[in-house]
Amino acid sequence: MTESSEAVFQLSTSDIIAITAVVVTLVVGVVSWIVSASLARRSMKRMEIQYRLRMTPLLDKSRFREANQITMSYQDEVIDELVLLEVDIINSGNVAIESPPLKIESRDATYIIPAYIDDIPDGYDTFWEFEREDGETCLIKANHINPGQVLKARFLMDQMPSGEPIFTCPMPNLKLRRSNNIEISPLANKLLEVMYPTLASAIKITIK
């Protein structure tokens, strides 16, 4: 009985070759499908922008004995408080995005004042710039943003707003995604000149 059972399950060399060929064919087919799907996905145009927001108080008036005697101005505009708004715009897609309608707008009466664009790539000085639409709204003008490029727009606000600013980019076939929540962190006045020398040279702070 045992000998007959062993004879039933014994495979010939041709059987082994045939089974191996079927397995190899299946494996090659699966691998080919995975590679083809991956290449097809990469070849598809994907327009996507991610953005990050960060608000940082640059001057804590509570540290001053006579805080009501402090006046601040930037580009001839009086600032009640000194808040830096950082907006990082990342092209996380795989195609260049041309002339995206980028806009940052406060939800209340907080002024948003264009300050500067940080780390501008060589040759992009005239391609990336600001346009102030009104006191609470700024447009970020970009001729184009290549895949992987980050546009770092910096603004001043005259006070810490009650709600976070609104960032929009209404454009066909564009996916807009926020990469993280707004972060609010305190910053001592002494760090202003060290961390933000561009702003420090332009901001006028007087104590009467």
Do 15 and 84 reside in the same domain of the chain?
A: no
Question: How confident is the model over 182-205, as a mean pLDDT?
Answer: 49
More confident residue, 201 or 63: 63
Question: What is the percentage of the chain residues whose pLDDT exceeds 90?
Answer: 42
Mean of the per-residue pLDDT values of the chain: 79
Do 94 and 27 reside in the same domain of the chain?
A: no
More confident residue, 182 or 204: 204
Residue 169 CB-density burial (10 A; 0-12 exposed, 13-18 middle, 19+ buried):
middle
Contact status, residue 169 vs residue 140, Cβ threshold 8 Å:
no
Check whether 165 has a pLDDT greater than 70. Answer: yes
Do 123 and 22 reside in the same domain of the chain?
A: no
Predicted model pTM = 0.66
Contacts of 88 by beta carbon, 8 Å cutoff, 6+ apart: 51, 52, 150, 151, 152, 153
Do 28 and 74 reside in the same domain of the chain?
A: no
Contact status, residue 80 vs residue 57, Cβ threshold 8 Å:
no
Which residue range(s) make up the domain with 142? 47-207
Do 39 and 51 reside in the same domain of the chain?
A: no
Do 71 and 7 reside in the same domain of the chain?
A: no
The CATH code of the domain that includes 168 is 2.60.40.290
Do 22 and 37 reside in the same domain of the chain?
A: yes
